[in-house]
Structure 1
Amino acid sequence: MGLKSKNISVLISDGEHPLLTQVVYCLSKSSNIRVYVVSKNDKVPMKHSRYIHKFFHVPEFENSEKWFNHLDGIIEKNDIDIVMPISEDGILFLLDHKNSWDNFNKTTILTSSEYYKKGINKAELAQHMKTFDIPCPSTYILKNGTIVDGDVKSLSFPCIVKPASGISGEGIHIFKEPSELKDFVLTTSKTYVIQEFINGYDIDCSVLCKDGQIIANTIQKGSEYENRRFAPPIGIGFLYNEDLLDVVKKLMRSLQWSGLAHIDLRFDSDTNTFKVIEINGRFWGSVDASMLVGVNFADLYIRVSLGESVEQINYKTKTYLSLKGLVKHIKRAPLKVFNFSFLKNQTPLFFSIKDPLPVILRFINRTRVILAQRFSS
């Protein structure tokens, strides 16, 4: 019996992560997958999703062994076939307990702890890419107020400074003059990477790998953005580019990567090359967009982890808008609201309509936060 006809029970082990929504929506497209969720946060709106079979609140204990005992009980009682972490913290937590947790063999395929930690840390990744001659920006490491890797005098300006670990563009600075960078260096004790600013544009590649080989991928470029600088795009366009894919193949092979990753790159218009900026070693915000163009990474990840062979998938080259992107787009072109094919196939709107309760709860939570901020100021 093939996996497509066999019922599969999947347990998401870090359901407190915001990406739970997109992952569950992707899994809902697979009729033979039953979704279970463990979360350290009992107030997650997706707890009330019609696509989640059972939701378990397991708080964070001082002793991790107690948490794993609860997880083992859930796995045994519900005949769980596979455990799938969706965030970097969730993956790191399981990797750190690989040798002490008896059910680790039930997890989805994961990169080794050494290479995973190296891949998601911008400073360590930059050094790794230098070693393997993988195209990347000129990078310097800042630790405890001291630049420890390279002569910063050769750095061109403007430059970008970002935390060695971080997400969603948080903590990123652009400095136009050496004096600005010097002032910043004197005021921080955290680890940062300092990189040259590359003239060009951002572009991403999402992959599913096994032992360093890419099994499935999509390439996407931002087409619509919020006003907040360095924020993820709210509209993307899918495309093919073999030169970019060759760079990513070399990167994933060098890290012997297994599992999912979302690689941020930048096209250097001065050298006509693609340069790797960072790796997000987890699910990503537009994973549901990849599903709509033909590559359901969540479903594929489970099937590959359970031993199924997967053929290369060709995806559609079309645009996608998040809900924020859709609102912004409709303000410019109101008649788009009547294009039902577009709304169904190129936005997450129909998922939200079919599963309204989590959307309503998120709206209520955001409204409470906004009102609290206004009345406290």
Structure 2
Amino acid sequence: MNAVIINGEFNVALSVLRSLGKKDIDTTVVASDRYALSFYSKYCNHKAISNYNIDFFKRMSGEDIIMPMDEDVMLLLAKNKQRLRCRLPFSEYSTLEKIINKSSLIRHAMENKIPCPKTCFVNGSDTLDGVAKELDFPVVIKPNSGTGGSGIAIVDSPEELKNTYRHVLKNYGPASIQEKIPFKEKYKVQALLNSDSKARRVTVLKVHRAYPLVTGPSVFVETVERPDLVNYSLKLLESLNYYGMADFDFVIDERNKKPVLMEINPRFWKSIQAAITSGVDYPYLLYKMAIEGDIDVSLNYKLGVKCRFAIFNDLYRLLTVLRGNYPLSYKLTNLVDYLKFHQDDSYYIFELEDVKPFLALIPIKLHRKFGAKKDT
């Protein structure tokens, strides 16, 4: 069997590749250009450069197992499932579409009594007048599609709302408007479900730091216990007849200390190395499930495992704080915390036994910034 790891330029693809490569599983890394991070790993057996069109995947056989890394590619494959021979260890198109569209996800979560932000589902800028009556400002404009906080805008007053919404609509597509949840705690829940929508593995990560500071993905996480968040997550997934990997984002509302669901990603996530280090090897488990049909149940994992994206995203976050309008004591605390490398159990990219991808980071960034411009 061959594990096909799409979007080899993403750091999460590198974690998945290492997981499988360490178990001597044959791997093919697919990327959009030859400067993909995973191409530099010693665990990369085969390389392929593709624009992820359906004809590329139609050439694959039943021996190829697609590792889910990107929602757009997953939607494409799920929609054309009947035309493909390769194995797709994730949910059907209708389920993926409901989860990836953030408005439809929130609607479904509300119907199943999962705590969510108060949300206005608007159809365009002409229907914004009622927002001020439904929600207190500030509010958050959240595009229905997108990752990494792209397109999310915070609006402080009704006067700003129409112009900001038009901008988001033009550049990121349809969006919903939600109350801005005040929070200091953020968590990620991961689960692997079999084809009967039964949980086989779960993990919970506490997000200690994120970049960008408010709306960005995590850059420093730690494994913790939160059974309440796990229960909400599994309840929602079972209601969706879900299959495969899922990654939830929850925040704890400062006003009442209750959890609130923000979104779900139906794929591997950037901080997956934390779960792998804690003893839950999701890439291998999904690969095994795709071959054998199911795996055993084990909901335990090591607590207190710390993992971060030290270079570059956690560093970018630190620089943002140091340059920002923050008290000196806050800046010094963040500087000291960043330098606590002795407390780290693993990293998103750096690994001593497979160091070439880390060493390639700066050349890759330089090429993407200057080489790509030169090529055009």
Please report the RMSD computed on the Cα atoms of aligned residues, expressed in angstroms: 3.0
CA distance, structure 1, for counterparts of residue 93 and residue 182 of structure 2: 34
Count of aligned pairs:
350
- Secondary structure of 2:35's match? coil
CA distance, structure 1, for counterparts of residue 182 and residue 338 of structure 2: 35
Q: Select 1:90's aligned residue among 69, 73, 82.
A: 73
- Secondary structure of 1:234's match? strand
Amino acid at match of 2:137: F
CA distance, structure 2, for counterparts of residue 53 and residue 222 of structure 1: 33
1:364 paired to 2:363: yes
Q: Select 1:321's aligned residue among 305, 308, 319.
A: 308
Q: TM-score scaled by structure 1?
A: 0.82
Q: 1:207 deviation in Å?
A: 1.3
CA distance, structure 2, for counterparts of residue 372 and residue 86 of structure 1: 26
For the 8 Å contact 2:210–2:217, the answer to whether it is kept is yes
Q: Select 2:297's aligned residue among 287, 311, 316.
A: 311
Q: Structure 1 residues 129 and 309, CA, compared in 2 at 3 Å: closer, same or farther?
A: same
- Secondary structure of 1:185's match? helix
CA distance, structure 2, for counterparts of residue 275 and residue 258 of structure 1: 23
Q: Structure 1 residues 330 and 273, CA, compared in 2 at 3 Å: closer, same or farther?
A: closer
Amino acid at match of 1:332: V
CA distance, structure 2, for counterparts of residue 123 and residue 361 of structure 1: 39
For the 8 Å contact 2:192–2:245, the answer to whether it is kept is yes
Partner of 1:197: 180
1:273-284 matches, cutoff 5 A: 273-284=258-269
For the 8 Å contact 2:5–2:17, the answer to whether it is kept is no
1:115 paired to 2:95: yes
Amino acid at match of 2:88: T
CA distance, structure 2, for counterparts of residue 119 and residue 20 of structure 1: 21
- Secondary structure of 1:295's match? coil
CA distance, structure 1, for counterparts of residue 65 and residue 367 of structure 2: 37
- Write out per-residue CA displacement over residues 23-46 of structure 1, whole angstroms, 9 at most, x where no aligned residue: 1122234x2422222334333232
Amino acid at match of 1:44: A
CA distance, structure 2, for counterparts of residue 299 and residue 50 of structure 1: 17
- Secondary structure of 1:142's match? coil
Q: Structure 1 residues 181 and 252, CA, compared in 2 at 3 Å: closer, same or farther?
A: same
Amino acid at match of 1:97: N
Partner of 1:23: 16
For the 8 Å contact 2:155–2:164, the answer to whether it is kept is no
- Return 5+ residue gaps in structure 1 as ranges: 1-7
- Secondary structure of 2:114's match? coil
1:33 paired to 2:14: no
Q: Select 1:67's aligned residue among 46, 52, 56.
A: 56
Q: Structure 1: which 4+ aligned runs deviate by more than 6 Å?
A: none
Q: 1:141 deviation in Å?
A: 2.0
CA distance, structure 1, for counterparts of residue 35 and residue 348 of structure 2: 23
CA distance, structure 2, for counterparts of residue 333 and residue 244 of structure 1: 27
Partner of 1:332: 336
For the 8 Å contact 1:294–1:313, the answer to whether it is kept is no
For the 8 Å contact 2:210–2:314, the answer to whether it is kept is no
- Write out per-residue CA displacement over residues 255-311 of structure 1, whole angstroms, 9 at most, x where no aligned residue: 111111111111123233212111111110000111011111111111122224222
Partner of 2:251: 266
Q: 1:174 deviation in Å?
A: 1.0
CA distance, structure 2, for counterparts of residue 172 and residue 209 of structure 1: 30
- Write out per-residue CA displacement over residues 82-131 of structure 1, whole angstroms, 9 at most, x where no aligned residue: 33232212211210111222x14x222x2121111101111111111222
Q: Select 2:112's aligned residue among 101, 121, 132.
A: 132
Q: Structure 1 residues 114 and 20, CA, compared in 2 at 3 Å: closer, same or farther?
A: same
Amino acid at match of 2:120: Y
Q: TM-score scaled by structure 2?
A: 0.82
Q: Structure 1 residues 154 and 13, CA, compared in 2 at 3 Å: closer, same or farther?
A: closer
Higher mean displacement: 230-239 or 137-146:
137-146
- Write out per-residue CA displacement over residues 207-241 of structure 1, whole angstroms, 9 at most, x where no aligned residue: 11123322211111111334644122211121111
Q: 1:146 deviation in Å?
A: 3.7
Amino acid at match of 1:165: S
- Secondary structure of 1:256's match? coil
